[in-house]
Amino acid sequence: MDNKINSQQKKSKPQFSPQFYLFWGISVAMTALLLGGFGYYLYQIRLDRIARTQPVQAEASTNDNESNNSNVQSLKASDLVLVEQKITAPDISELKDDDFGKSVKRGKLYVEDTYRQLPKHVGSKLNCTNCHLAGGTTPNAGPWVGIIGEFPQYRSRTGKMDALTDRINDCFERSLNGKPLPASSNEMTDIVTYMTWLSKGYVNKAKLTGRGMPKLVLEREPNLELGQKVFLNKCASCHQANGQGFVGTDGKYTYPPLWGPKSFNIGAGMARLHTAAGFVKHNMPLGMGGSLTDDEAWDVAFYFSQQDRPDFLDKKNDWPKGGRPKDARYQ
């Protein structure tokens, strides 16, 4: 008898109230909604990433090593669906007057008025944005938009992983023929903050159209006489026939020096033929980028880049592990 009761109890189904079913029904529906929403969010992020990436552009590569800059980079099939992302700078007027906004504005001042703001660190009469045009926002003129995602980066010239501050100091020591800023100094922090602001909204390692300083390489030897002719016809009106630049009535350099003691030193990227030719082809005469033929850009770049300019004392430490480009000014 006892056994019978037990087995009956086991068989009988538990009784649940209607509220119980309602509770579970709602829970399941909510969970499904949440999961669905999260899935959709992930899908959107992926689309966004794809939209911010584009096929590798050999021309826009910033690698120091020429041999890595072959124009015949083959595209993988998976690259072909990628969409290119253009370089667009944020609007400075939208910056708040908080600590971040103030730091961005100081950083902008340092890179645009470098030799006057940071005289102890600049041996030339150049500003960063004489080359990184329009505050570092011009494609094919070493834009800093998106630069935050590119560092740390292995570079053959130093033979190590470089932080962004190392790279900036390379330009202080070479392009400005000056001295490095301590990585933790207020000035360096402001410059990096400015670049961080320029990079907002760009995904790490996004391939941006016009990133870096493009190279131009022709098969033939450059011609010094033709280069001088191009210089006198198309450059000297601003940079002066002696290449020393031009000081305006406000005492500032209206047109920066291209060679001589006030210009960049022989260790600078701009002292190299391929880099100089690419920069000039895309950006000079100022406001008329693209107007020179490749031949003109090649010869004129040879003419101004090979002129006398300050030595770079640390040159013996460059390319410690090989990979010295053919157009380096020293062996």
Cα–Cα distance between 63 and 65 in angstroms, integer?
A: 5
Q: Give the contact letters, 5-34, x = binds to ligand HEC (CB under 6 A), - = no.
A: ------------------------------
One residue of 185, 285, 307, 324 binding ligand HEC per CB under 6 A: 285
CA distances from 182 to 116, 156, 261, 268 (A): 18, 22, 25, 20
Contact status: 238 vs ligand HEC (CB under 6 A): yes
Contact status: 257 vs ligand HEC (CB under 6 A): yes
Contact status: 66 vs ligand HEC (CB under 6 A): no
CB of 42 to ligand HEC, least distance (A): 31
One residue of 82, 235, 273, 277 binding ligand HEC per CB under 6 A: 235
Cα–Cα distance between 60 and 69 in angstroms, integer?
A: 9
Per-position DSSP letters for 186-236, written without gaps between them:
HHHHHHHHHHHHHTTTPPTT--BTT-S------SSPP-HHHHHHHHHHHTH
DSSP label at residue 138: S
* Three-class SS state of 18: helix
One residue of 107, 212, 222, 289 binding ligand HEC per CB under 6 A: 212
The residues in 149-208 that bind ligand HEC, with binding defined as CB under 6 A, are 150, 167-168, 171-172, 175-176, 191
DSSP label at residue 97: S
Q: Are 222 and 301 in contact (CB under 8 A)?
A: yes
Binding site for ligand HEC (CB under 6 A): 62, 64, 111, 114, 126, 128-133, 142, 144, 147, 150, 167-168, 171-172, 175-176, 191, 211-213, 234-235, 237-239, 255-258, 264, 268-270, 275, 279-280, 284-286, 292, 300, 304
